[in-house]
Structure 1
């Protein structure tokens, strides 16, 4: 089970990442581009999930950028107990994650991939080289 503290630690370990408060929740940016954020559900989200028969998360929810909607839908199809979306994110390459149901290693991969999508290319290449990838 992952926590927002895990998200914070993983995100801030990446180059040029900072934390800010956006809409009253924690958000992490790389060179001023958001890549992962705390995403409390709103009433409209809860109503849409209930209508779709999707159980509401019991803990914190994380939003994060993915490469495209195909990746989002593949994650949701592969593990709907962890990944989900709401109509608010229709047409947008982001997925929601139930933190209470994801391991820290899988979370690390997601945070790093989201960061790579939003980081300046030279920064991303340098980080990948430092990681031996």
Structure 2
């Protein structure tokens, strides 16, 4: 998870203001990205600037809208998408 500085490519559609509390979460693939941004029960979204990049955006102030278990699963998947394969295999073998 990375903090994303306010930028003109991510503007709140309701206010026209730049988002000031965005986090970027890398996802394993395009289908995982689609699943998150198309699910109205979670606060994840994307912007055209992220087209073709497997990541979603979320406002830090909205993380409380999802359960800790759900967020943990998303962050583990994000880590597993980038971590060395041997480390990922070791982690999941212990689960």
Range class of TM-score, shorter chain: 0.7 to 0.9
For the 8 Å contact 1:57–1:98, the answer to whether it is kept is no
TM-score calculated relative to the size of structure 2: 0.76
RMSD (Å) for aligned C-alpha atoms: 2.7
Secondary structure, in 3 states, of the residue corresponding to 1:43? coil
Does residue 38 (structure 1) correspond to residue 3 (structure 2)? The answer is yes
For the 8 Å contact 2:24–2:57, the answer to whether it is kept is yes
Secondary structure, in 3 states, of the residue corresponding to 2:58? strand
Residue 90 of structure 2 is matched in structure 1 by 126
> Quick one: which of 79, 92, 106 aligns to 2:70?
106
When structure 1 is superposed on structure 2, of 119-128 and 56-65 the one drifting more is 56-65
5+ residue gaps, structure 1, are: 1-35
Secondary structure, in 3 states, of the residue corresponding to 2:70? helix
TM-score calculated relative to the size of structure 1: 0.57
Structure 2: how far apart are the matches of 1:104 and 1:40? 25
Aligned residues between the structures: 92
Residue 72 of structure 1 is matched in structure 2 by 33
Rate the CA distance shift 1:56–1:113 in 2: closer, same or farther, 3 A. farther
Rate the CA distance shift 1:106–1:57 in 2: closer, same or farther, 3 A. farther
Structure 2: how far apart are the matches of 1:54 and 1:79? 20
5+ residue gaps, structure 2, are: none
